[in-house]
């Protein structure tokens, strides 16, 4: 197998302000706005678990839960 060049990314998912790509080195690139995190498989899984747990608990000050109403940031 050829060495990874970190140039071939396969788009896995895309949102309004974010996207997730799989790099040829097996890291996941998580881009939110102008910031990109390069995560190995364990870190990606840990981030997914942590965000999912937080999402299940969060209720915003106006009573909204994630996924309800506007998606714009502050
Ligand atoms: Zn890479």
**Domain ranges, ordered by start, for the chain:** 9-57
68 Cα: distance to centroid of ligand 1 (angstroms):
34
> What's this model's pTM, rounded to 2 decimal places?
0.74
Residues in Cβ contact with 18 at an 8 Å cutoff, skipping those fewer than 6 apart: 30, 31, 32, 33
The beta-strand segments (E) located in the chain are: 9-14, 18-23, 28-32, 35-39
71 Cα: distance to centroid of ligand 1 (angstroms):
30
What does each of the 74 residues of the chain score in pLDDT, given as a tens digit? 678 787 889 999 999 999 999 999 999 999 999 999 999 999 999 999 999 999 999 988 888 888 776 655 55
pLDDT, residue 62, reads: 84
């Amino acid at each position: 197998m050829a060495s990874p060049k970190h140039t071939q990314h396969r788009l896995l998912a895309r949102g309004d302000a974010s996207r997730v790509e799989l790099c040829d080195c097996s890291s996941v690139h998580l881009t939110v706005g102008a910031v990109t995190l390069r995560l190995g498989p364990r870190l990606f899984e840990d981030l997914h678990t942590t965000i999912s747990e937080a999402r299940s608990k969060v209720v915003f000050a106006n009573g909204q839960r994630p996924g309800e109403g506007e998606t714009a940031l502050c």
